[in-house]
Amino acid sequence: MRKFEYLRPTSVEEAVAAASRPGAAYLAGGTNLLDLMKTGAAGPELLVDVTRLPGLDAIEPLTDGGLRVGAMVRNADVARDAAMRRNFPMVVEALLSGASGQLRNMATVGGNLLQRTRCAWFQTPEAACGRRDPGAGCDARDQAGRSHAVLGWSERCVAANPSDFCVPLAALDAQVEIAGPGGRRDVALRELHRLPGDTPHVETALAPGELIVALRLPGAGAGFGRFSRYLKVRERTSYAFALVSAAAALRVEGGAILEARLALGGVAARPWRAVEAEAALIGAAPDAGAFRAAAEAALEAARPSGDNAFKIELARRTAARALALAAAGAPERMPALPASPFADIGAPAHA
Amino acid sequence: MTPRLTMTVNGKAREIALDDPRVTLLDLLRDRLGLTGAKKGCDRGQCGACTVLVDGRRVNACLTLAVGLDGADVLTVEGLAQGGALHPVQEAFIAHDGFQCGFCTPGQIMSAVALIAEGEAGDDPERIREGMSGNLCRCGAHRGIVDAVLDAQRRMAGDAQGRMGKDGERAA
């Protein structure tokens, strides 16, 4: 690990001033950054520890029925929050499907939103990566596979965003509160992560020194209640990143869909909100035909970036199944295997 | 500047002078405090062999910078036994043969202690498997591990009920 300076400021203003320096990075849970520093894929000169900044560790109700979550709340504590479980069950399901009990105790809301891609070439300093080093090209381009994007990728970068948490957040129109050298501003979660285009190193909408201080889940999303699910397909039942995942929410009245939300994970450099699929569902009966048609619409622009054409059909099936799960409603108690396709099958089928 | 930290490790107050902010909690425990129970397996948060409790919560010590832990309360496998008496989770691992080579065992035990305290797995082997998925065992002793966690949990719940009348507290 390269040498760095360590600073633990006591106010947001002090943190922002320190981190506006070139070569500085914020340190929260450290579960991603420390790993990258050990492999040499990241080498900040200054770490600004934001874990003890005041006022960033609470979950509060909003007047519109939504929730505001401080950026330093740990993933495990978000998942345990009673209001979160009641109003946004697919957010809890997504969080509990990610990482391990230890990592969820460490990882923060802000850090999860800003976690880097798990593309093996990005993580390996010896490989050319334009996301890591501006203009460096992309060694993954000719070897892209199961972990890479099938939507929104470019010749310069085929990486996918690995976050589970961000997928339901994109579906729920979450807002990200940011403090920076120029003051406070909000960014829609759907606009936080950039598609690579010709500038894959511009990963997010954040300017140097800007710090995520909170996340807002608008009350409109709470209306879906238990009719919202997260489904994640991975290579082992637990403790693995998604090949493909889907967050789906439905509001059905009188046998017709009044409102629908759908977002996909593991398929692009950002959590992929499928607005065309949502539009296709409005007014339809909540049945397999409608869900399949919506899934077709969601993946219409998809194309393989390498040996990963299977992810396109896998994503269609995952989306259609997540919609069917949302229509049926989440069970009272979180399944033993959160978000797993094996959740309802039980131990003997997979053990 | 050499940061000075105050930490409680296995119930004992420690004053630690850190000459380098790169020192992880795992390296601090193993190389500087002589507590080699927590193991360095992958050193990347993937195997769980370094699991310890910080302020009662299980974490990967390999991905935790020691410099950020001023004032923290750290519990490692060395601090579990009370006097000569093993912790119920330690006893259960022995009774159910929850290990083979033993390398992952301190991490498994600390993770199990925390999982039981979290109180969300209940009496369900599937939930225990899911809750322990951050601790890999390359010998494949998982069947014994799950049995051990189930058994320890039942015994600790029984003990807690027995004590409820006295102090009203749950066994940690």
Chain B, 130-169: which have a CB under 8 Å from a chain A CB?
Answer: 130-135
Report the relative pairing of strands A175-180 and A211-217 from DSSP bridges.
Answer: antiparallel
Beta carbons of A6 and B133 less than 8 Å apart: no
Using a CB-CB distance cutoff of 8 angstroms, which residues of chain A are in contact with residue B132? Answer: 101
Verify that B97 and B157 share a domain, yes or no. Answer: yes
Instruction: Mark which of B79, B106, B132 sits at the end of a domain.
Output: B79
The CATH number of whichever domain residue B57 belongs to comes to 3.10.20.30
**Cβ atoms of residues B43 and B130 within 8 Å:** no
Report residue B138 as tokens.
């390359």
What does the DSSP assignment read for A155-215? TTB------STHHHHHHTT-EEEEEETTEEEEEEHHHHBPP-TT-TT--BSPPTT-EEEEE
pLDDT-derived band at A222, boundaries 50, 70, 90: very high
The CATH number of whichever domain residue B122 belongs to comes to 1.10.150.120
Residue B135 is assigned to a structural domain of this protein? yes
Report residue A116 as tokens.
């880097």
B164-170: long-range pairs with CB below 8 Å, 24+: B170/B119
A5-52 and A53-343 share one CATH topology? no
Question: Could you tell me the CA-to-CA distances from A83 to A68, A88, A89, A225, A342 in Å, in that order?
Answer: 11, 8, 9, 11, 26
pLDDT over 90 percentage in chain A: 97
Residue B169 is assigned to a structural domain of this protein? no
Report residue B74 as tokens.
């750290």
Verify that B94 and B148 share a domain, yes or no. Answer: yes
Domain A53-343 in CATH 3.40.1000.10? The answer is no
Mutate which of A73, A100, A334, A350 to test chain B, going by most B C-beta atoms within 10 A? A100
Verify that B150 and B95 share a domain, yes or no. Answer: yes
Range of the domain at B55: 4-79
**Cβ atoms of residues A267 and A310 within 8 Å:** no
- Shortest CA gap B86–chain A (Å): 23
- Shortest CA gap B62–chain A (Å): 9
CATH no. of A5-52 = 3.30.43.10
Beta carbons of A336 and B127 less than 8 Å apart: yes
**Structural domains of chain B, count:** 2
Using a CB-CB distance cutoff of 8 angstroms, which residues of chain B are in contact with residue A49? Answer: 65, 68
Report residue B75 as tokens.
């519990």
pLDDT of residue B171: 40
**Cβ atoms of residues A101 and B149 within 8 Å:** no
Beta carbons of A103 and B3 less than 8 Å apart: no
Beta carbons of B63 and A34 less than 8 Å apart: yes
β strands within chain A, DSSP E: 5-7, 24-27, 46-49, 59-61, 67-70, 175-180, 183-188, 211-217, 228-233, 244-253, 256-265, 272-273
Verify that B153 and B112 share a domain, yes or no. Answer: yes
Interface of A with B (CB under 8 A): 1, 3-6, 8, 27, 30-31, 34-35, 38-39, 47, 49, 51, 76, 99-103, 105-106, 237-239, 336-338, 346-347, 351
pLDDT of residue B162: 61
Residue B151 is assigned to a structural domain of this protein? yes
Q: Quote ipTM for the complex.
A: 0.95
Domain ranges within chain A, ordered by starting residue: 5-52, 53-343
Verify that B115 and B53 share a domain, yes or no. Answer: no
Residue B97 is assigned to a structural domain of this protein? yes
**Cβ atoms of residues B75 and B41 within 8 Å:** no
**Cβ atoms of residues B90 and B106 within 8 Å:** no
Q: Which of A146, A172, A147 is nearest to A263 (CA)?
A: A172
Residue B145 is assigned to a structural domain of this protein? yes
Average pLDDT over residues B133-145: 97
Residue B167 has pLDDT above 50, yes or no: no
- Which three-class secondary structure state does DSSP give residue A15? helix
List pLDDT tens digits, range B80-121.
999 999 999 999 999 999 999 999 999 999 999 999 999 988
- One-letter amino acid for residue A98 of the chain: G
Residue B23 is assigned to a structural domain of this protein? yes
pLDDT of residue B166: 43
Number of residues that make up chain B: 172
- H or E segment at B12? strand B12-17
Residue B14 is assigned to a structural domain of this protein? yes
Verify that B70 and B95 share a domain, yes or no. Answer: no
List pLDDT tens digits, range B19-73.
999 999 999 999 999 999 999 999 999 999 999 999 999 999 999 999 999 999 9
Residue B108 is assigned to a structural domain of this protein? yes
For residues B3 and B8, give the distance between their C-alpha atoms in angstroms, rounded to a whole number.
16
Beta carbons of B3 and A6 less than 8 Å apart: yes
Report residue A325 as tokens.
């799960």
pLDDT-derived band at B2, boundaries 50, 70, 90: confident
Contacts for A253 with CB less than 8 Å, ≥ 6 apart: none
Instruction: Mark which of B60, B79, B98 sits at the end of a domain.
Output: B79
Report residue B6 as tokens.
């105050």
pLDDT of residue A343: 85
pLDDT of residue B170: 40
Neighbour tally for A331: CB within 10 Å? 13
Verify that B93 and B157 share a domain, yes or no. Answer: yes
Average pLDDT over residues A19-41: 97
